Amino acid sequence: MTFISPVPGRRPPRRSRWLRAATAASAAIALSAPAPVAFAAVEGPDDDQSPSAVLAPSNDGILPASGSLTLTVTADNPGTEALTEGEATFELGTRPLTTGGALGSWLDSGTAAVPFEAVGETAVPGVAADQSASGSVSVNTDDEIFDDLKPGVYPARVVYRAGAENLRARTVIVVPRTGEAAKQVGVVVPVTAGAQSSGSLSADALKELTEDGGDLRNLLDAVAGTDAILAIDPAITASIRALGSAAPADAVAWLDELMSLPNDRFALQYGDADLAAQVGAGAEAPARLTSYAAYLDAANFAAAGAAAGDASPAPSPTPSAAPLPTLDELFDVGADRDAVFWPATGTAGAETASTLGALTGTEDAPVTLLPSSVVRSDAAAHATADGADLLVYNQDLSALLAQASTSAGETARDSALAEYTARAALSAPAGPLLVTVDRAGGRTEAALRDAIVAATALPGWTGTDLNGLLAEKPAPVRLTSVAPDEDRVAMIDEFLAAQPGLRRISGVLEDPALLASSERATELQLLGNAWLDDREGWDAAVQAQRERIASWTDGVALVLGGPITLAGSSAPLVFTVRNDLPWPARLDLLASPGDARLVIESSTEVEVGAQQTSRVAIPVSALVGSGESSVDLQLRTPAGVDIGPSETVDVSVRAEWESVSIIILGGLVSALLVFGVVRTIRRRRRMPVDA
């Protein structure tokens, strides 16, 4: 259902000056009472069920040089009763809002000492329960109302009267300035995969994200052709490349397109991990992966020198091993600059910036992106605090871009972008302006692209990149302190405490980096900033990781039964070793007798397949006929590191049973022979004698 709009191409009739003044006066009387909230609704017993309206101008709120300005109102009726028929009246202020405070007062409470003039009206049909509807009016830019409007920000409003309901909504339009020197603006857009609980993204997850309609596909299509600065999670590129030939075709194509984009970019930490929490846990530098072995399968990579798709490769007497990508190749995002850090908005302050700014060993000087909310003074984008190099983004403007990029309705999106344009027009940065379209999931291509374009297409502004932002002389600033998330710091401490056990058990693997790389990658993913908005899901994922660490720390162990009876002077003792790890294990089983009555092979090499058990036979000799003894058992890595506690098995020696058994067996055999001879003789005696 939609409102009935004016006939296309028809504009409201021109009014004489005195009639326009009378209209403005009557409108001022009718609308003088401010609405209770920004996009006001009628009062009701339940705010969630009250109808509301949103007003938005076209063209991100910028008055075009020619053509028409369109004002669109969308009414939402979440209640159970329909809104009756009515009409909507659109009005435009004729004096500008000159300060950010005046703009905020207008949008928040409807307060503005500005005369208004009606620019159009439309009939409104009823709106059914749990439905929404939109309608609009268009005003040509050559209308008299625009004749005297100087460059600035102007309020606009609508009153939607439906029976006893009066819905009010507000917005702003911007008359751009011309002839001024161009300003620079940079917009940072994150390229992340959302909350992940495993170290590497699976083929199924990558396919879902990169196919048509997937979050990463929408994101890539949205940034293509824009001046956005990309902040890329290297976990995405590493996960695709690590799959080799097993990577989904959509993911491979997506990665190729990403790498071919000309946009300036930098790498986030793996998994977009929480930098502030790591600093809060005492880290002097962000955690880094030193191996990706757990996620590389040589079978997914062509042999060196073999061309893909070659039906008849040249014969080779000794085929070379499959080449595996290096860490640098896996994590490459095409960045021209390293050591650029972007903590999640609101998580980091002076402490994080100081730690990151003091890093050494990087090719470029470290730079940290922080929101303006932690800076104690107004400054340009490039700043410095206690020796740390900073890029400060405008948090208020960035929040509007994030709101627009996640808005489901077009009118709500356009309303947020109009406010962004107005606030940017009233801002007076000392140098280039930096904004972000912050981290979020589930965004459509259209919504994200509209936000990026609005940020980079402000009248009189031109896009810039990281080098352009950093080329400006930094302004000294003071930063506020921000406490890290205590739960995340506790998680880091807990996982650090588990590292010795994991390192010990990894010694049974041919490549100990398999376990280390898997655990480190998973823990960084659990530190991902995408989890900040899903505390319940994060708690469950962390608990699953705790259980996984516990099972892997005890992943290789002896499986013991009860006491063992050794019925002979020499016989093997058989023990079982289990391996719950997803990789084959190689280790030694050490056995030592509890006393001198047993002679035992001291060390036996054991090989156990992935997630299997293996039986190990240890030769044992008894030096006594009978008695009670014991055997001490210890699993140990090939490097000599004990795995788990020492175990003791009771052994009952019954070596005399061997002699007794032989005597008994000999007696039985002899008895059987005697019985057979006697039976044969008696049978022959009974036979008749031949005459």
CB 61, CB 154: distance < 8 Å: no
140 and 227, same domain (yes or no): no
Q: Which of 493, 527, 553 is the last residue of a domain?
A: 553
Q: Are 411 and 61 in contact (CB under 8 A)?
A: no
Evaluate if residue 558 carries a pLDDT over 80: yes
Q: What is the mean pLDDT of residues 92-107?
A: 93
Tokens of 459: 């009248």
98 within domain boundaries: yes
Question: CA 11, CA 5: separation in Å to the nearest integer?
Answer: 11
Is there a single domain that holds both residue 499 and residue 527? yes
Residues 192 and 78 grouped into a single domain: no
Do residue 170 and residue 191 come from a single domain? no
Give Cβ neighbours of residue 466 (< 8 Å, ≥ 6 apart).
Answer: 186, 229, 264, 266, 337, 340, 367, 391
Predicted local confidence at residue 44, as pLDDT: 37
C-alpha Rg value of the chain to the nearest Å? 39
Q: Which of 576, 579, 601, 605 is nearest to 591 (CA)?
A: 601
| Residue 594 neighbours by CB under 8 Å, 6+ apart | 629, 630, 631, 632, 648, 651
Contact 209, 99 (CB under 8 A): no
Encoded tokens for 488: 């995340």
Strand order across the 642-654 sheet = 564-566, 642-654, 626-636, 585-593, 603-608
Report DSSP letters for 191-250, one per residue. Answer: E-----SSSS--HHHHHHHHSTT-HHHHHHHHHTTS-PEEEE-HHHHHHHHHTGGGS-HH
Amino acid identity of 647?
E
CATH number at 622 reads: 2.60.40.10
Is residue 65 within 8 A of residue 142, CB to CB? The reply is no
pLDDT in tens, 157-177: 999 888 777 889 999 999 998
Same domain for 643 and 538, yes or no, is no
Cα-based distances in Å from 246 to 204, 302, 517, 604: 11, 11, 20, 39
Residue 43 pLDDT exceeds 70: no
Query: Has residue 431 been placed in a domain?
Result: no
Distance in angstroms (rounded) separating the CA atoms of residues 30 and 24: 10
CATH number of residue 57's parent domain: 2.60.40.3880
CB atoms within 10 A of CB 443: 20
Q: Is the pLDDT of residue 587 over 90?
A: yes
Q: How many residues does the chain have?
A: 691
pLDDT at residue 219 greater than cutoff 70 = yes
What is the average pLDDT across 655-672?
A: 59
pLDDT for 185 beyond 50: yes
pLDDT of residue 48: 63
Q: Please check whether residue 60 is in contact with residue 454, taking contact to mean a CB–CB distance below 8 angstroms.
A: yes
What is the pLDDT at residue 309?
A: 41
* 615/664 same-domain check: no
The last residue of a domain, from among 140, 175, 210: 175
* Residue 592: domain span: 556-655
pLDDT tens per residue across span 416-459: 999 999 999 998 787 899 999 999 988 999 999 999 999 988 88
CB 510 within 8 A of CB 584: yes
Phi, psi of 124 (to 5 degrees): -120, 120
Residue 132 lies inside a defined structural domain of this protein? yes
DSSP bridge partners of 654: 626
In a domain, 384, yes or no: no
Total Cβ atoms within 10 A of residue 340: 24
Look at 661 and 330; give whichever has higher pLDDT. Answer: 330
**Alpha-carbon distance 202 to 662, whole Å?**
64
Give the DSSP per-residue string, 563-607.
-EEE-SSEEEEEEEEEE-SSS-EEEEEEEEESSTTEEE-SEEEEE
Q: How far apart are CA 157 and CA 161, in angstroms?
A: 13
At 319-373, the pLDDT tens digits run 455 689 999 999 999 998 999 999 999 999 999 999 999 998 899 999 999 999 9
Residue 303: pLDDT band (50, 70, 90) is low
Q: Are 653 and 629 in contact (CB under 8 A)?
A: yes
pLDDT at 184 over 80: yes
Q: How many structural domains does the chain have? A: 4
In angstroms, rounded to a whole number, what is the distance separating the alpha carbons of residues 497 and 493?
A: 6
What pLDDT is attached to residue 17? Answer: 37
In this structure, of 108-112, 180-184, 273-277, 518-522, the range with the lowest mean pLDDT score is 180-184
Mean of pLDDT values over 561-588: 84
Are 523 and 484 in contact by the 8 Å Cβ rule? The answer is no
Could you report the per-residue pLDDT of 51-62, keeping only the tens digit for each? 889 999 999 999
Report whether 573 contacts 604 (CB < 8 A). no
Residues 6+ apart with CB under 8 A from 425: 152, 153, 174, 176, 458, 459
396 located within any domain = no
251 and 164 in a single domain? The answer is no
- pLDDT above 90: percentage of residues in the chain: 62
* 434 belongs to a structural domain: no
| pLDDT of res. 622 | 73
Q: Per-residue confidence at 25, pLDDT binned at 50, 70, 90?
A: very low
- Other beta carbons within 10 angstroms of residue 625's beta carbon come to 14
Q: Which residues contact 660 (CB under 8 A, 6 or more apart)?
A: none
Tell me the C-alpha distance between 361 and 565, whole Å: 63
More confident residue, 400 or 657: 400
Average pLDDT, the chain: 85
Closest CA to 324 of 244, 435, 388, 213: 244
Choose among 554, 569, 573: nearest CA to 649: 573
d(CA 354, CA 387): 8
Closest CA to 197 of 519, 459, 457: 519
Q: What CA–CA distance (Å, rounded) separates 293 from 122?
A: 66
Give the model's pLDDT for residue 226. 94
Q: Strand, helix or coil at 19?
A: helix
**For the chain, what percent of residues have pLDDT higher than 70?**
85
Residue 338 token pair: 């390293």
| CA proximity to 159, closest of 32, 278, 68 | 32
Q: Is residue 549 part of a domain?
A: yes
On whether the CB atoms of residues 529 and 488 are closer than 8 A, the answer is no
342 and 220 assigned to the same domain: yes
Q: Do 132 and 148 share a structural domain?
A: yes
Instruction: Kindly state whether residues 196 and 90 are assigned to the same domain.
Output: no
CA distance 432 to 476: 16
DSSP designation for 131: E
Contact 222, 180 (CB under 8 A): no
CA dihedral in degrees (469, 474, 478, 481; nearest 10)? 40
**Claim to verify: residue 205 and residue 285 sit in the same structural domain:** yes
Q: Do 200 and 346 share a structural domain?
A: yes
Instruction: Confirm whether 428 is domain-assigned.
Output: no
Last residue of a domain, one of 142, 158, 175: 175
Whole-number Å distance between alpha carbons of 78 and 560: 65
Residue 464 pLDDT:
94
Amino acid at 428: A
Q: Which two tokens stand for residue 554?
A: 């005890």
Report the pLDDT value the prediction gives residue 431, as an integer from 0 to 100.
85
